[in-house]
Chain A
Amino acid sequence: MSSTSPDESRTAGDSQAGSAAETMNLVEAVRHALHTEMGRDERVMVLGEDVAENGGVFRATEGLLESFGDERVVDTPLAESGIVGTAIGLAMTDMRPVAELQFMGFAYPAFDQLVSHAARMRSRSHGQYTVPMVVRAPYGGGIRAPEHHSESKEAFFVHEPGLKVVVPSTPADAKGLLIASIRDPDPVVFLEPKLVYRAFREDVPTDAYETPLGEATVKREGTDVTVYTWGAMVHPTLIAADNVADEDGIDVEVVDLRTLSPLDVETLVDSFEKTGRAVVVHEAPKTAGLGAEIAATIQEETLLHQEAPITRVAGYDVPMPLHELEDYYLPQALRIQEGIRETVSF
């Protein structure tokens, strides 16, 4: 089987002006990335529940079966530990499995495989065996889904050394980050914010570009306060930033972390050293969420620049409520604005 060496790939930043692009939403960009990588590397395969005939419950794998056949696009039995466990086995034979877990809330049966094996196969075997696997899962709330279909439990996976955790917030990033994840030599948990799946479209280059893992991006430059966020919370954060600029004259910088593990400490610290104030926004429950890790990192790295307590705008410490109350649970622009104002006025 053939594969392209990493040297032949290039990052989105290298994209030539005028290179071809198509307008896509996030779920189409995921599909496009899978199609691109399956087309250039025969080892890449997709497995999961309802991914083949049905094209995935969110249509992320639609058309792959027709293009690549049922040996590489595989409907599995309904068994998450089976899906991830076999994907680990496949990866160890030099395949490049992209496993889909139908919803993040159904990832837990696979937890043992992910933390006890995928995360530490490299370290246990002193580098002899590795798990170049991607586990994709739709994640987050805001779409009036049934119970257990709206969770954001990224912290479980970020806490596990050996796993990489990626959350795109835009179609172009989704494609580039997924390609980078598939080519990455380590296991990647790739969380797709389903609120963004069809929220908007943008131009996505059609070539096989990588958006490097471990690099945050500054979505909006500002000088008064930095808001760190990712996934579906990026959009309401940008709205909140515009609103407090208009209403209060506050100049907000917004950092989209994109990769939650490994964290881009450099971008995180650089921004904080500029603004001296920080708000972290995530939809996961506040306690022991990533906000705590970000706040602690800022304190360790750059305490003397700090001008105000770091504010966390997060989900409450309760089970994700059913949809009638999810607008109260999820951070909205309203709560983000409150957090920004509080931090700036300290």
Chain B
Amino acid sequence: MSTQNEADHHPDSAPVHGTTDPIQILDADGAVLSNAELPELSDDDLVAMYEDIKLARRFDQRAISLQRQGRIATYAPMTGQEGAQVATGYALATQDWLLPTYREHAAKYVHGMDLASLLKPLCGLREGYAIPDDVHVMPEYIPIATQVPQATGMAWGKQLQGEADTAVLCHFGDGATSEGDFHEGLNFAGVFDVPAVFVCNNNQWAISVPREHQTASETIAQKAAAYGIEGVRVDGLDPLAVYAVTRAALQKAKNPADGERRPTLIEAVQYRYGAHTTADDPSAYREEDEAEDWRQKDPLDRMRNFLTNNGLLDDDLEAEIDERIDAQLSEAIESVEAATTDPTTMFDHVYDELPPRLREQRAELESLREKYGDEAFHEVLE
């Protein structure tokens, strides 16, 4: 990759990233484009990526169905966006940090979180935000764009502590680029030249507001120029292209060439096939057939075709994968639905040491439960 300025000076060497057509490796049918170079991924990794994308899609279907049955609360679907999520997850090294939003279920899973943890907050259990020490994922960010300056800060901290081999990657959507925190986070990243990668999952819709009403900029990647950092546009439905671009950005973050700035803004151009969340009805604001064009470039289909064409996937393996995925999901759902939480856990971890007044409040709640039983709290008294 090269910066926009370099590209201007060397028109033959690279396209002007940020304003051009998105970078692709696979065509819509999953064939490798003639001018593209495959990223260095083993056959096993390629198949594993496919399996994770398929798991993500199945996770989405199961979660939506659970929500409709009233077994989980509001869920933010990711169908159409799994390829980009899984690919950025594969690009991360174990020591790198991930700051996801509420939609990045697959990215979190790939970077080390277990499926049950992903489901817990949807069942109202805060325990799902308890991340194991060896998993470098932050609890999902629900307010919009607030993770952007924090990613810059974490990258800055890693740099100050001499962890030269660690970078920080954060996800956000096209809507987030309108928030002040997006500007402030990217500006700081440029000024302090921190090892951070900012991935905008541009799925074209911020709930009901289309990308072209979100910003008058031609692309989101071009906003990088304002911060003096590199902006790259990539086909977000092409997992191999997203992997290659993210991998290169992470490498540059850790080992920039002379004159290169560490941060990169990646615009992964994609589409949210479904609703913003299960609380939303997209037919109120967009044409249903709009998704069809995007489905022609579906990340799961493209990876399947790519693997099949290269002799890496056949029906037997596909069946094996499906069986594994269904077993994993059923086990996770079963364990989460069996999980309970104690009401007094709401007082845990509010402070390092619980202040006297909170101890009193916890005792008050305990005595009410003892006196009336838990059922009384859930009764709607009339």
A interface with B by C-beta (< 8 Å): 49-50, 53-55, 57, 75-82, 105-106, 108-109, 144-149, 236, 239-240, 243, 286-287, 316-319, 321-329, 332-335, 338
Contact = CB atoms under 8 A, between A and B. Distances in A.
Given A239-B381, A325-B341, A316 B285 contact: no
Nearest to A110: B180
Contacts, number: 127
A82 B214 CA distance: 12
A54 B284 contact: yes
Nearest to A328: B343
Given A53-B284, A106-B143, A318 B124 contact: no
Contact of B179 (A78, A149, A316, A319): A78
Contact of A77 (B209, B279, B346, B368): B209
A327 B208 contact: no
B80 interface: no
Given A318-B346, A328-B365, A77 B178 contact: yes
B341 to A, nearest CB: 6
A319 B346 CA distance: 8
Interface residues of B, number: 47
A228 B146 CA distance: 36
Given A286-B361, A316-B358, A105 B102 contact: no
B135 interface: no
B74 A146 contact: yes
B377 A328 contact: yes
Interface of B: 73-74, 102, 121, 123-126, 142-144, 175-176, 178-181, 206-209, 213-215, 279-280, 284-285, 341, 343, 345-347, 350, 357-358, 361-362, 365, 368, 372, 376-379, 381-382
B346 A316 contact: yes
A316 B377 CA distance: 15
Contacts of B365: 316, 328
Nearest to B280: A57
Contact of B73 (A144, A239, A318, A329): A144
A106 B179 CA distance: 11
Contacts of A318: 346-347, 350, 358
Contacts of A240: 381
A334 B377 contact: yes
Contacts of B102: 146
Given A316-B358, A317-B357, A55 B284 contact: yes
B126 A321 contact: yes
Given A109-B180, A145-B73, A319 B350 contact: yes
